[in-house]
Chain A
Amino acid sequence: MEVGFLGLGIMGKAMAANLLRHGFRVTVWNRTLSKCQELVALGATVGETPAAVVAKCRYTIAMLSDPIAALSVVFDKNGVLEQIGNGKGYVDMSTVDAATSSKISEAVKQKGGAFLEAPVSGSKKPAEDGQLVILAAGDKALYDDMVPAFDILGKKSFFLGEIGNGAKMKLVVNMIMGSMMNALSEGLSLADNSGLSPQTLLDVLDLGAIANPMFKLKGPSMLKGSYNPAFPLKHQQKDMRLALSLGDENAVSMPVAAASNEAFKKARSLELGDLDFSAVYEVLKGGGSSQA
């Protein structure tokens, strides 16, 4: 199968590489073209622009960092819209709000193309290992066509119905995740400031009802002050913001999500935005002092 791939950041690079390693023919594009070279070494061809990629490929996947980038790749000069049309499919795996996804969907369909939103749950390592969870919605026939690619990229795919449902599901999951990271950070900070061993707290948490892979994976590196970005904090905060907007639109009460978002904003103001989202611990950690 041949696919186009737009966007070779933390996620896109790993995903494109995975497809290449499993025998897919892949034509790549990235805003900073030099990033394509690593994929070329794995057998990819390069498209000079998103339009060039779409012209060449029947199916094109996009993995961009935020709504602005996702829209730009579609609507700007030399964008996807210039070449999308009948018989072609566009699959946006970026995490965006439902309105952005709808806008892209309408524009693609108007040109005769098929559109699928398919944001993923999972960060760098699951992307490398093909263990993503794919939350697709939109054109069912396009979804069916993409299953061979999804089977390589992920461990499980969901088809959630109409456009917007994939985007919303992703935002809800990431909202819970962001709040959980704050709860963990608060726990580790309080343990530390109360004369307890934060590592012991991690050990206890790992034995009980709230044990989860994220705490297990990130807890130890948080205690070492190590925040290599698997999922950049600025993107997590973007997701919290989008989830809160969704809550606003529907008058859903979300006080813990709101409190979590505040901590992520504070972290960004402290220039921690490019670190892993677990760096929010640095914000909570600072807020205490040992008992005399």
Chain B
Amino acid sequence: MAAAAATHLSVRAAPALRLRGKGTCRLLSCYASSSPPPPSSGEGFSGKVGFLGLGIMGAPMASNLIKAGCDVTVWNRTKSKCDPLLSLGAKYESSPANVALSCDVTFAMLADPESAVEVACGANGAAQGMAPGKGYVDVSTVDTATSKLIGKHITSTGASFLEAPVSGSKKPAEDGLLIFLTAGDDSLYNRVAPLLDVMGKSRFFLGDVGNGAAMKLVVNMVMGSMMVSFSEGVLLSEKVGLDPNTLVEVISQGAISAPMFSLKGPSMVKAAYPTAFPLKHQQKDLRLALALAESVSQSIPTVAAANELYKVAKSLGLADQDFSAVIEALKAKEQNPQP
């Protein structure tokens, strides 16, 4: 039951000064005087950065790197998704292998374990372009076994590997306010710290590969369970004649006030679920968390109950809606649900 050694750094999401150099991404960030500057400040990151996967998260993350002055090369399974990044100045390569070949460090942001493995280890996968001196940073959310598998493929080429799943969804990605939960090669972690600081507000190094993945799953399982509890409350309040908007206001005044409730509550009351974090990914995370819990025989009853509801929501055609759409699973089922 040894606690993983964790180092943690919080940085202010202040605007970064960009000094362009050839193939160099120099980042000087401003910090409040009370916070000590991180070890990497003033050094910046030298080299070319690859970015695989330009979905809801990948696109704003890559875009933030480009805006900070980094030399970025992108790839996405659907090529057209690269266009906005190309118009910001990114280069394009036709496969993960070619991106890895042409870059010093390559990031990957894929939707699930299957695509993360495919992109890293599949035909023309990133591993084929890896070599000593290069690094691969997988920011996808996967299970520990998948992360270890990807790690092995990468490190067998002589390259270094860092798992670095993030906490935070679309808006934090856009605003550069993600929280990185990293584990693996600590030299690679220190090397890419300036890049993490562009994309995020906080970063943790949690030790061996698997620890970052596990931490992310635990965080998201708490969140997934909380969203269902909140949904139960919103529905119950409506059914007994209370104004659910008043419930949201009462909650915001007390001990259980959380940004997620204030942010999503009002739209949930209106049955609107604009996608910041797709429900199918939340359910994937719960599934993986339940497997993790099973591997150590840990009982997690509210998570198990919550998972059932996300499955129901998927069956109602809500997989691509925001995960707050799980509230629909608690309502009486409709004959012809709106997707």
Contacts and interface: CB of A to CB of B under 8 A. Distances in A.
Interface residues of A, number: 72
B117 interface: no
A57 interface: no
A186 B246 contact: no
Contacts of A148: none
B30 interface: no
B214 to A, nearest CB: 5
A156 B148 CA distance: 51
Contacts of B3: 195-200
The 8 closest A-B pairs by CB, nearest first: A288-B298, A287-B299, A179-B229, A183-B225, A197-B3, A259-B301, A209-B260, A255-B305
15 contacts: A121-B253, A135-B250, A168-B237, A182-B225, A187-B222, A193-B1, A197-B4, A200-B3, A209-B223, A213-B255, A252-B235, A259-B302, A284-B300, A287-B298, A288-B299
B302 A256 contact: yes
Contact of B296 (A208, A252, A289): A289
B218 A190 contact: yes
Contact of B232 (A187, A257, A290, A291): A257
Contacts of B295: 291
Interface in A242-292: 243, 246-247, 250, 252-260, 262-263, 284, 287-291
A194 B308 contact: no
Contacts of A41: none
Most B Cβ at <10 Å: residue of A98, A155, A208, A250: A208
Does more than half of chain A's interface fall in helix, strand or loop, or is it mixed?
A: helix
Nearest to A203: B8
Contacts of B228: 255-256
B179 A194 contact: no
Nearest to A213: B255
Nearest to A188: B218
B222 A284 contact: no
Contacts of A208: 167-168, 179, 219, 259
A192 to B, nearest CB: 6
Given A193-B296, A196-B3, A200-B215, A250 B240 contact: yes
Interface string B1-12: 111101010100
Nearest to B171: A209
A107 interface: no
B255 A177 contact: yes
Contacts, number: 244
B274 interface: no
Interface residues of B, number: 70
A200 B295 CA distance: 21
Nearest to A186: B300
Nearest to B208: A195
B301 A252 contact: no
A190 B246 contact: no
A204 B223 CA distance: 12
A142 B240 CA distance: 24
B293 interface: yes
Nearest to B243: A160
A176 B256 contact: yes
Given A177-B256, A190-B218, A210-B223, A182 B301 contact: yes
A169 B236 CA distance: 10
Contact of B260 (A158, A200, A210): A210
B164 to A, nearest CB: 13
Interface stretch (B97-105, B199-207, B314-322): B199-207
Contacts of B254: 121-122, 133, 173, 213
Given A210-B258, A213-B257, A259-B301, A183 B226 contact: yes
Given A179-B225, A204-B204, A190 B301 contact: no
